[in-house]
Structures are given as structure tokens and as C-alpha cells.
Amino acid sequence: MNRQSEIESDTGAHAVVASVPAAPSDGLELRIFAARVRLLYSGIGLTAGANLINALVLAAVNRNVVYGGVVLGWLAFMAASILWRVWLTREFKTAAPADRAMGYWAQRYLLGALWTGVAWGVAGVLMLPQASPPHQIVTAFVLGGTAAGAVTTLTRHYPVYLVFVFPTLVPVALHFAWLGGETGYGMAVMYALFLIFLLHAGRNQSDSLEQSLKLSVQNLELVDHLTEEKARAEQLNAELRREIAEREIVDRQLREREASLENAQRIAGLGSWVWNLRTNELRGSEEAYRIFDIDRSVEYITFETFLDMVHPEDREAVTKAIAEAQEANTTYNIVHRVILADGTERVLHERGETTYDDQGGPVSMSGTTHDITEEHRMLKALEIAKTQAEDGSRAKSQFLANMSHEFRTPLNAIIGYSEILKEDALEVGQANHVADLDRINAAGRHLLTLVNEVLDLSKIEAGQMDLFVEAFDVAELVGNVVSTVRTLAAANGNELSVQCDPDTGEMSADATKVRQVLYNLLSNAAKFTEQGRIAVEARRLAELGTESHGGWIVFTVTDSGIGMERDRIEAAFTAFDQLDPATTRKYGGTGLGLAISRHYCEMMGGAISADSRPGEGSVFTVRLPGQVSPPNGANR
């Protein structure tokens, strides 16, 4: 699209339809235009879904205000426009058009957007005059929100956005202007300003996309150009090498290459050597002499001299490796130690290959010696550190497991005796002791929960946590968890709601762990929310490529509690991490619930995420496969 046609399109939807070119002629503009159109068609799911939801909301709001037949007729008109665009997108994907055919598809999509925009404008004309002020405001906001929401998708081709937004918003502005008065004129001016803002935002969005696509296309063209230049350079290099072979300057270039090789060997700590097996002369590069601490004035050494420098414990292995490599015509490859004249010990990695004569007899061996003394030292240190860390982790996990078991026995006794004493107190009429016994029981149960969490974490870290996969009804499990948490929610004056799609059905997973994850999330929501709302939702999400595990089961827990900073969300999933000391003192807990929940989700092939803002509550989302695969294909 050229710049002039975009400027002219701002004057109105009609001018835009007439000014859309079939496709730009310039190669770069054509590729950018085609990329815009493809992006436009890729967003049909979001666009169609948003239009459908908004249409249903608008129809529901005005169902008792406007004649029912008019509402149904308008809904049919809107649904037809949405279905036509969905069908058009399917046709586009099937056709997979080339870049030069994008003008035709852009015009068809533009007509669909115009149709939908007109449908929204018709809604304004039909519903605004007959509606009461509250219904008019809702209608105006739905239309405005629809136009604003289209900025992210329809501005991928700016004329499409224009033909959608003008017929959507202009009738509303005209209606309020026709009403007159302070409210009418005020709303008309606000809608006009809103329209100007959307046009400006859409233009900025479109220009930003233009620049991004331009850079992307230019990068691709640059890569193609560099590839061609590379091939041309390789061809020129081949010709140059042939010319060099024919000239007398080969010796000078060879000396330069030798100098470069010596420098590279020095930097890498890699020396080269050649061993003449017939004369027993072993010659090395400058770096090889430095590694073995041999005087450079020595022209060559013998194999026996080399073997004397090898660590006595490694000599037999070196001799055997050389003999086997020469006999089997394989690469000589060994790591061994050497002891230098000053007593310094070095660790070397040697590789070599043998050259044979026509009769198959070994003539020479050439290879490299790499000084890996420092790497070997670091590797040993890392192995020691790794061993110590593993020992420490095992000791910690074993300690936590032992201590947890030691705590659980007396805690169970405390809980049990408190319940027995409560029954006895009620029987003998000492009700004044019941409250204290309840507090003892609650404190014991709370401490037992903390101990169990520590024990679960120690099992997870030790790799001893197992999965037991079984089929269960999702709605039933959610209901059981909610019934358990409802008392906790009510204690803080919270309203708890449940929504479970009928299509959710069953899933195959570790029911105990799924239940524990939901309980952790809901109990946290109940703890950190006072006089607010808590909602849990379960639904099945089918996506391409998920047929093998039955799609995704998505659980969402939403609360209106204290929330947390965005940069603290990840830390909340870390063991023993809490928001801050003040929160710890007020709400208690170990900070293990979310960490354990993440481990459980990952064990079952899923994930858990959160979105939160301070003072606005939190949203936790659990995503699990509909059919969890047990470890090694069987329950554990």
C-alpha cells in the first residue's frame, strides 16, 4: 500500500474501499503488503470471538427494550457477517495465495469488515433510540469497546480498520448529537474524540507494524544477498587458490600460515607433533615444545625421551594405546600425565593418526597434544563439589524426612487426645474447656499440615515422590475441594463461587495431587482475602497436537485479596519464600504450598502460572493434560 492511498483513506470508509490497490508493484512493498494480509487473516479467531461475545451481550441487554424480532434479525445479520469472514479465512488458508494475489484477498476481507461495521452501526441505530439512558450507555460502551478491541487485529491492514470503525461509531455519535442537550452533545463530542483517538492509535499501530515488517523483509533480503555473495566469494577463493598454486609465492604464504598456526596453538594450548617411525625422530611445534618444557634448540627427541617424561603410572597405557592404534589403523586417543624437569605435573590429551606405506607398514604418526591441566583441575574440583552438594542434599532430605516422621507421631497424639478430651468435656458438662481444646486441635492440625508439606518437599527433592494415575470426574473432585475450603472462605467473610464446564468430563491423573494443588490455591485465596470474592473454574481446552493426551484441563482460581507485585510472582513458587516478613507474621505459613503445587503440576506434564497486582487480587492458572502419562508407562 502506498502512503498517498493511506492518507486518502482517512477521509472516509467509501474512499478507502475505492483506493485499495490489487497489490503494490514494488518488490519490498509487495512482500510487506502480503505479510500484512496474512497477519490479518491469522487474527480471525480473536476478531470473530470478540464480535460474537459483544453481539450476544448487546442483544441480552436490549432484549426487553427493543422488539424481539428486531434483535433476533440483527443477531442473524451479525452472525452472517462473522460466519462469512470465518469462511473467507478458511478459503484463504486453503488457497495459500502468492504475494501478488493478496490484493484480491485484502479487498474481500475489507468487504467483510465493512459488513460487520455496518452491522454494529445498525445496532446503534436500532437500539439507541428505543433504549433508556442506562441501556444507551451500555450499548454505547459495547460499540466503543468493539471498535477499540479491533485496534490490535484490524490495523494490520489500516483500510480494513477504517471501514470497520467508521460505520460502527459514527451512527452512535450522530444519535447523541440528535438527542441534543448537555448529555447528548457531550456524548457526541466524547464519541468523536474517541473515534479520533482510535484512528490515531490505529495509525500508530499500523505504522509500527509497517516498520517491523519492513525490517524483517529487509533482513531476509540481506540474508539472501549475503548467501549469494558468500557463494560468489567461495568461487573467487577457489580460483585464487588455483592461481596461488601456479605462482612462486607459495613458500611465503606457507610461512604465514605456519606463523598463524603457531599463534592459534599457543592461544589454545595445543601443540602438534610428527613422529618418524623409521628414524625414531619426534619433532614438535613451538607450543608442543613449550608444553613438554623442551629447549627449542633441540631439533628432535626420541620416543624413549618422551616416554621418560610420561608419569610412571601412565606409561604402560600410553604404549598400549599407540600399539593398538597402529595395529588397527585407528586414532590414537589418550589422556595421560607427564612430569617435567622441574617436577611440575601436567595433564595432556593426545590424539594421533598413523601413515602407512604401500605394503601396509607404519611410516609415521602425526597428532596433537592439548594441555588440559587447568580443565582437569577444575573438573576434579567440580566433581568434589558436586559430590559434597549431593551428600548435603541427601543428608538434608533424610533429616527432614526423619524429623517430619518424629513430629507426626506426637502431633497425631495431641490431635487425637484433644478430640477425646473435647468429647469428655461435653459429656461432663464442662463446655467452658471446649474452646481451648478446639484451639489445641486446630494448632496441632496446622502444625501437622506444615510438617506434611516439609515431608512432601523432601520427597520431591530426593526424587522419591510417586504418581498414581487414575480416572476421576473433574467436577466431582472440584466440588469436594470446594466443600472443604468453604469454611475457610466463610471465616474471612468471603464469597466462594464454582464454575465447571459440563464438557470437562473425566481426566486421568493423580487425583490426590490434583486435589492438593487446588486445595493449596483455594486455601491461599481464603487466607489472603477478606470480605471479598473467590472463584474457581474448570474447563477442557482442546488444541491442535494435544489429541495424544486428551487436550488440556485448565483450572483457574481467582481472588480479590491482597495480591502481590509482578516481580514477586516467581519467588512465590520458591520453597520457603513468602511475600515479606509482615505478611508472614500476619498470615503465617511456610511458603511451601505453591512450590509443592508447581512440582506436582510438572510431574504430571503440566504447569502453573499466576498473574497478580497489589490490592487487586490474584489469578492462578493450572494447566494439566487430560490424560497424564505415568512414569515408564505404568503407575508408581
**Three state DSSP letters for 280-347:** CEEEECHHHHHHCCCCCCCCCECHHHHHHHECCCCHHHHHHHHHHHHHHCCCEEEEEEEECCCCCEEE
The one-letter amino acid code at 4 reads Q
Together in a domain, 54 and 140: yes
Q: What is the pLDDT of residue 184?
A: 75
What integer pLDDT is reported at residue 293 of this predicted model? 84
pLDDT for 537: 94
- Whichever domain contains 542, its CATH number is 3.30.565.10
> What is the model's pLDDT at position 2?
39
Residue 602 is assigned to a structural domain of this protein: yes
pLDDT score of 497: 93
CATH label of the domain that carries residue 302:
3.30.450.20
My answer on whether 449 and 355 are in the same domain is: no
Instruction: Give the pLDDT score at 633.
Output: 45
Question: When comparing pLDDT for 251 and 564, which is higher?
Answer: 564
447 lies in the same domain as 559: no
Report the SS3 class of residue 627. strand
| Same domain (yes/no): 355, 476 | no
How confident is the model over 309-332, as a mean pLDDT? 90
The DSSP code sequence of 421-451 is HHHHHHHTT-GGGHHHHHHHHHHHHHHHHHH
Predicted local confidence at residue 266, as pLDDT:
66
Q: Which range among 46-50, 85-89, 439-443 shows the weakest confidence by mean pLDDT?
A: 439-443
Burial class from Cβ neighbours inside 10 Å (0-12, 13-18, 19+) for residue 163 reads buried
DSSP strands (E only) in 111-156: none
Do 104 and 67 reside in the same domain of the chain?
yes
Grid coordinates given for 531:
470480605
- Examine the fold and report which residue of 317, 351, 371 is the final residue of a domain before the chain moves on: 371
Looking at residue 576, its pLDDT comes to 58
pLDDT digit string, tens, across residues 392-407: 766 766 666 666 666 6
CA 561: distance to chain centroid? 27
**C-beta separation of 511 from 477 below 8 A:** yes
Rounded distance, CA 355 to CA 231, Å? 35
Average pLDDT, the chain: 80
pLDDT band, residue 456 (cuts 50/70/90): low
- For residues 456 and 505, state if they share a domain: no
> How high is the pLDDT of residue 477?
92
Distance from C-alpha of 208 to C-alpha of 215, rounded to nearest angstrom: 11
Task: Sort 623 into a burial class: Cβ within 10 Å, 0-12 / 13-18 / 19+.
Answer: middle
pLDDT tier at 414, thresholds 50, 70, 90: confident
Question: What domain range is 479 assigned to?
Answer: 470-633
**What is the structure's pLDDT at 12?**
38
Give pLDDT, residue 16: 38
In a domain, residue 232? The reply is: no
Instruction: Look at residues 371, 405, 427 and tell me which one is the last residue of a structural domain.
Output: 371
Q: Does residue 227 lie within any of the structural domains? A: no
Residues 494 and 593 in one domain: yes
Q: Of the candidates 556, 551, 558, which has an alpha carbon nearest to the alpha carbon of residue 506?
A: 551
Name the least confident of 153-162, 348-357, 598-607: 153-162
CA atoms of 557 and 340, how far apart (whole Å): 69
With contact defined as beta carbons under 8 Å apart, do 564 and 579 qualify? yes
525 and 602: one domain?
yes
**What ranges in 428-574 are assigned the alpha helix state H?**
434-461, 474-491, 511-527, 569-572
Q: Are residues 484 and 437 in the same domain?
A: no
Closest listed residue to residue 148, CA positions, set 198, 205, 199: 198
| Interior/surface letters 270-307, b for 16+ CB within 10 angstroms, e for the rest | bbbbbbebeeeebbbbbbbbbbbebeeeeebbebeebe
Say how many domains are in the chain. Answer: 4
Q: Of how many residues is the chain composed? A: 636
- Mean of the pLDDT values across residues 438-467? 68
- As given in the structure block, the three cell numbers for residue 112 are 467483510
- What's the average model confidence in pLDDT over 563-581? 73
- Greater confidence (27 vs 577) lies with 27
> Does 392 lie in the same domain as 522?
no
Please report where in the chains the cell 542434599 appears, as a residue: 393
- Looking up residue 447, the CATH number of its domain turns out to be 1.10.287
Q: Of 371, 390, 411, at which residue does a domain stop?
A: 371
Half-sphere exposure of 504 (CA within 13 A, CB side): 19
Say what the pLDDT of residue 49 is.
80
What pLDDT does residue 412 have? 72
Specify if 184 maps to a domain: yes
For residue 533, the model assigns a pLDDT of 94
Dump the DSSP string for 372-420.
-HHHHHHHHHHHHHHHHHHHHHHHHHHHHHHHHHHHHHHHHHHHHHHHH
User: Is the CB of residue 20 less than 8 Å from the CB of residue 160?
Assistant: no
Q: Looking at the domain assignment, is residue 233 inside a domain?
A: no
Residues 501-521: what's their mean pLDDT?
Answer: 88
Please check whether residues 355 and 383 belong to one and the same domain. Answer: no
pLDDT in tens, 214-244: 788 777 777 777 888 888 888 888 888 787 7
CA quadruple 537, 542, 543, 549: dihedral, nearest 10: 100
* CB-count exposure of residue 622 (10 Å: 0-12, 13-18, 19+): buried
Confidence of residue 530 (pLDDT cuts 50, 70, 90): very high
> pLDDT, tens digit, for every residue of 12-57?
333 334 344 455 656 778 888 888 888 888 877 777 787 888 888 8
Per-residue pLDDT of 96-149, as tens digits, reads 888 888 888 888 888 888 888 888 888 877 777 666 777 777 777 888 788 887
Report the pLDDT value the prediction gives residue 3, as an integer from 0 to 100. 37
Strand, helix or coil for residue 10:
coil
Q: Are residues 101 and 132 in the same domain?
A: yes
Quick check: 299 pLDDT over 80?
A: yes
Residue 213 falls within a domain, yes or no? no
Residue 503 CA: distances (Å) to CA of 199, 368, 470, 507:
41, 67, 19, 11
Tell me if 252 is assigned to some domain: no
pLDDT tops 70 at residue 334 = yes
Dump pLDDT digits (tens) for 610-624.
Answer: 999 998 899 999 999
- Note whether residue 9 is domain-resident: yes
Average pLDDT for 376-386:
85
> How many other β-carbons are positioned within 10 Å of the β-carbon of residue 633?
6
Q: Name the residue type at position 480.
A: N
In terms of pLDDT, which residue wins out, 381 or 176? 381
